Amino acid sequence: MPKQRKSAKILSSKTAFKGKIFSVAIENIQDPEGNKGRRDIVHHGGSVVILPVDDSKAEPRVLLVRQFRQAAGQYLWELPAGGRDGKENPLAGAKRELREETGYTSQDWKRAMFFYVSPGFLDESMDVYLARGLKAGKAQPEDDEFITKRLFKLTDALRMVRSGKILDAKTVAGILWLQDEVRSGRFKRR
């Protein structure tokens, strides 16, 4: 049985900023051990990440997207991802994001990982889904998304991680997860 999650008591909370994608709150809390303190928390509705894999060849190929990221000040190769729409089911969000950003759809979905992005100040969580049985289609990006897509052999994606050509944390985690699945024999060609 999973451990019961303890939570802090919020003594006071004030929204300092509310934007389209996230809000920032100043919270005075008392943690489960009774310690009091101030926390500046970025509240985000959660994200979905897709690890699209073409396993029709001897070596799996990972579909990555490249786009300019203003916060990083550069173009980044990443796994397709996006925010969940309201109370959207994570798998439904993953299917939507894959189709919108890449045009691909998938026949086979598996939840690979769940993690918090940076829990020291951000409540954003990410659900990562492995998508197999890919079928190409027409992308439907949002008006402000300018995306290039490309399939990379897993060994090439791993080389990009090691050389610093892939800098996005969710992508590094997804590629390393896939490498572990392949090495362990849990990932089998379809």
Q: Catalytic residues, which ones?
A: 145
Q: How many CB atoms lie within 10 A of CB 22?
A: 16
Cβ atoms of 55 and 190 within 8 Å: the answer is yes
String of DSSP letters for the chain: -PPPPP--EEEEEEEEEE-SSEEEEEEEEE-TTS-EEEEEEEEE--EEEEEEEE-SSSS-EEEEEEEEETTTTEEEEE--EEE--TT--HHHHHHHHHHHHHS-EEEEEEEEEEEES-TTTB--EEEEEEEEEEE-------TT---EEEEEEHHHHHHHHHHTS---HHHHHHHHHHHHHHHHT-----
Q: How many CB atoms lie within 10 A of CB 134?
A: 21
